[in-house]
A and B are shown apart, each in its own frame.
Chain A
Amino acid sequence: MKIHAAKTITKGRVLFTAVLLALSAVPAMAQDAFPNHTLSMIVPFPPGGVADTTARPTAAIMEKYLKQPVAVVNRPGAGGAVGNAAVANAKPDGYTMGMVLSSISVIPAADELFNRKPAYSLDQFAPIALISADPTILVVHPSLPVKTLKELVALANSKPGQMSYSSSGIYGALHMPMEMFLHATKLKMRHVPTTGGGPAITAVLGGHVELTAGGPAAIHGHVKAEKLRPIVSWGATRHPAYPDVPTFKELGYKDVEYFIWAGLVGPKGMPEAVLKTLRDAARKTAEDPEFKNAMAKVNSPVQYMDAPEFKKYWDADAKRLAGLVKIVGKVDSK
């Protein structure tokens, strides 16, 4: 009886091992051929936004190098939290990537501030490549009698807490740089959050607030028409489309640097070979002239970084933003 049972176990074990082997063989084969079916690139924002207009050409050109279609999937919601969480919790087989924006680092920090159950944490991601990084540019309504940062700071100092700026929402991509600026200059201003980058600029155009931080692409037409006056940029170097606009760094504000970046990430735990395939495809994409051309059209020059570099950059950025969120704190506790 016992022997019989043992035999059955052995038999079962053999069968089990065989099944295991067969099962493990499937992914192994799939890995060899990665990718062998459609990949998806999650965009945590609605169509037409920065993430979307970066993801579309990236996906289109990556198809060329991955030899498989790459479908862009918009998963908007909660300022990007929904889509970011979808990437974080995807199966790490390399078939799901995400085109995420720098706001990815702010959301967990804000969740912590409000004691919320975090939608995801940053260590759930594996960076693949940085695609672009645009500095924001400080613009004022042309009726404001300032042309330089010095004049702006002097004016704001002369009436503390009287001037107001618009943003894309609290802790949003356009709020963070303004807080950085105000913190560095110890200025006080009124904050008027709006529902996005477009409305924030509209508020300045209508003269309802005096200034805002704007994305270089979004403000370009208005600056050209002299309806907005650029004062200073948050970039590390001057932006090619605005050669006359100095950076905070040039003007002596060492720590005031801010980019809205877009990067390709995947869920953590992708097999090394898969990650390498994706990194290679991303690199070739970034070097592709067709891609560079598409990105130049949306006024968002390619800023490629490979995974290790990108990781370092992201970590530093996340740390700075998390610190900033703490400084801003909850509105009511001020």
Chain B
Amino acid sequence: MMHDIDSAPAKKGIRSDQFSGFILLALALGVGWLNLEYPLGSLREPGPGFMPLLLAIFIGAMGLLIALWGGKSDPLAAIEWPEAKRALVIMAGCIVVSFALEPLGYRITIFAFLIFFLGVLERRRPLPAFLVSLGFSLISFYVIGDLLQVPLPRSPWGF
């Protein structure tokens, strides 16, 4: 999502509020379209589609107003994304974890995750990074999994 914004050719003149306002408007239209599936009901007996429709109209109206009044806001191109690249890597790391957690088990996944973050991304010294990763994954599993008895995922090899 953020990548799109980042790489979109920054047209001169488009203001940040105009941009975000139109995004909101687009969101409202999208929701309104999805909402066609649900019956609206009546004012006396609102159906499941009633409130979402009102909200879509409301968000759309707000988006439009933000866009219209947004002429004085900073230009879209002026918003800098210095941290976007790294943020994407961090997000990607979390997403990988969310998919690996159940098949690989908690301890292996979190250990690998921390090794990646501390060792590769942040380039900490290997020994402390290793100890922190190992300690964190084992101790947190012990506290949450064993003491609080939350059934945290285990690997097929049993731990």
User: In the complex, is A directly touching B at CB under 8 Å?
Assistant: yes
Q: Which A residues lie at the B interface, using CB under 8 A? A: 40, 71, 73, 331-332
Tell me the complex Cα distance, A332–B38, Å: 10
Measured CB to CB, the residues of B under 8 A from A are 39, 41, 47, 149, 151
Residue of A nearest to B150 (CB): A73
Main secondary structure of the interface of A (DSSP, over half): strand
Q: Please, which residue of chain B has its CB at the minimum distance from the CB of A38?
A: B151
Indicate which residue in B39, B41, B151 contacts A73 across the interface (CB closer than 8 Å): B151
CB distance from A116 to the nearest CB of B (A): 11
Q: How far is the CB of A83 from chain B (nearest CB, A)?
A: 13
Q: In the complex, what residues of B have CB within 8 A of residue A40's CB? A: 151
Q: Would you give the shortest CB distance from A111 to chain B, in whole angstroms?
A: 15
Chain A residue at minimal CB-CB distance from B151: A73
Chain A residues near B47: list those with CB within 8 A. Answer: 331-332
8 A-B pairs within 8 Å (CB atoms) are namely: A40-B151, A71-B149, A71-B151, A73-B151, A331-B47, A332-B39, A332-B41, A332-B47
A71 vs B39: C-alpha distance when bound (angstroms): 43
Q: Interface of chain B, helix or strand or loop or mixed?
A: loop
Complexed CA–CA distance, A40 and B152 (Å): 13
Shortest Cβ distance from residue A190 to the other chain B in the assembled complex, whole angstroms: 10
Chain A residues positioned under 8 Å from B151 (CB to CB): 40, 71, 73
Q: Please, which residues of chain B bring their CB within 8 A of the CB of A332?
A: 39, 41, 47
Separation of A71 and B145 alpha carbons in the complex (Å):
12
By Cβ-Cβ distance, the 8 closest A-B pairs, closest first, are: A332-B39, A73-B151, A332-B47, A332-B41, A71-B151, A40-B151, A71-B149, A331-B47
